[in-house]
């Protein structure tokens, strides 16, 4: 079983690449994004199938049963997990997400589901940005939840999306509405792509401003040092 789990885990390392997820994404979230079961659940399923094949006939019948059991086990584990609570709040009923086969998960959705990449809270956590505050709202942590569901700067886009989906955008119901139809899925994916593009531009501009400010400070310190050295050498009276 241990060997099987190692083989399965190697698959999930490839899943990260396929889904364009960062290495900081946990296995659980990678599985959610890709619509797969975690390695531990699959290993248990394989073990159960092995023993049932030895004792029973009609393998296809209990294969389907074990697959259903695995989905249930995954849902229980997802409920009990202590990490990745933002993704859990976004997708509380993971079995519905697993059963959705009509829409594709793109790069921007892969970043939004775990709350990674261009969000200030994430960048600050991994020391890629000095502050975790959202650039347009001082004092507010710039995580995925705030940007997509609360920030007043995006009210127009959010209301437009709500009109298109015929429902007000809320954290608890967004994914359920997304999974209601292919059209709803595509509408949200487009909304997410526009917001992600805007976020990246704002974050990039903020980083460039910081670099510019640091450069000015560095230049100012260099000028002061040069003046001090010149004064000490008697070149400046």
pLDDT in tens, the chain (237 residues): 566 556 666 666 666 666 677 777 888 888 888 888 888 888 888 888 887 777 766 566 778 888 888 999 999 989 888 887 888 888 988 888 888 877 788 888 888 888 876 777 877 777 777 777 777 788 888 888 888 888 888 888 888 888 888 888 888 888 888 888 899 999 988 888 887 777 667 666 665 666 565 544 444 454 344 434 433 444 333
Pair (131, 74) in one structural domain:
no
Q: How far is CA 37 from CA 9, 99, 105, 132, in A?
A: 11, 11, 16, 33
Per the CB < 8 A criterion, the answer to whether 187 and 161 are in contact is yes
Domain count, the chain: 2
Last residue of a domain, one of 52, 74, 98: 98
- Backbone φ/ψ region at 127: left (φ over 0), alpha (ψ -120 to 50), beta: left
Pair (17, 133) in one structural domain:
no
Pair (228, 164) in one structural domain:
yes
Q: Which of 154, 151, 155, 144 is nearest to 112 (CA)?
A: 144
The C-alpha angle with vertex 83 and arms to 136 and 134, in degrees rounded to 5, equals: 5
Per the CB < 8 A criterion, the answer to whether 133 and 125 are in contact is no
User: What pLDDT, on the 0 to 100 scale, is given for residue 11?
Assistant: 67
Last residue of a domain, one of 43, 67, 98: 98
Pair (90, 125) in one structural domain:
no
Per the CB < 8 A criterion, the answer to whether 109 and 90 are in contact is no
Pair (124, 67) in one structural domain:
no
| Distance separating alpha carbons of residues 163 and 187, to the nearest angstrom | 11
User: What pLDDT, on the 0 to 100 scale, is given for residue 233?
Assistant: 44
Pair (55, 167) in one structural domain:
no
Pair (94, 119) in one structural domain:
no
- The tokens 């995006």 sit on which residue? 154
| Distance separating alpha carbons of residues 69 and 58, to the nearest angstrom | 17
Tokens of 38: 């975690």
Pair (90, 119) in one structural domain:
no
Pair (191, 144) in one structural domain:
yes
Last residue of a domain, one of 98, 115, 145: 98
User: What pLDDT, on the 0 to 100 scale, is given for residue 232?
Assistant: 43
Domain span at residue 17? 2-98
Tokens of 2: 């241990």
The C-alpha angle with vertex 23 and arms to 122 and 175, in degrees rounded to 5, equals: 65
Pair (192, 174) in one structural domain:
yes
């Amino acid at each position: 079983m241990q060997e099987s789990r190692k083989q399965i885990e190697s698959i999930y390392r490839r899943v990260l690449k396929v889904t364009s997820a960062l290495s900081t994404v946990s296995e659980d979230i990678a599985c959610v994004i890709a619509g797969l079961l975690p390695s531990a659940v699959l290993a248990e399923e394989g073990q159960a199938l092995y023993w049932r094949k030895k004792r029973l006939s009609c393998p296809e019948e209990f294969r389907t049963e074990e697959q259903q059991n695995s989905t249930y086990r995954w849902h229980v584990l997802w409920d009990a997990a202590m990490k990745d609570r933002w993704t859990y709040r976004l997708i509380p009923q993971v079995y519905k997400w697993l059963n959705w086969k009509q829409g594709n998960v793109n790069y921007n959705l892969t970043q939004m589901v775990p709350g990674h990449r261009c969000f200030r809270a994430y960048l600050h956590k991994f020391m890629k940005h000095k502050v975790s505050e959202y650039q347009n709202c001082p004092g507010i942590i710039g995580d995925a939840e705030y940007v997509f569901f609360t920030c007043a700067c995006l009210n127009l886009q959010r209301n437009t999306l709500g009109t298109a989906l015929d429902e007000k955008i809320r954290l608890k119901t967004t994914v359920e509405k997304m999974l209601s139809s292919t059209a709803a899925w595509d509408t949200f994916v487009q909304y997410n792509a526009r917001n992600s593009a805007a976020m990246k531009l704002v974050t990039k501009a903020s980083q460039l401003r910081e670099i510019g400010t640091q450069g000015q400070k560095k230049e100012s310190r260099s000028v002061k040092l040069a003046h001090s050295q010149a004064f000490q050498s008697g070149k400046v009276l």
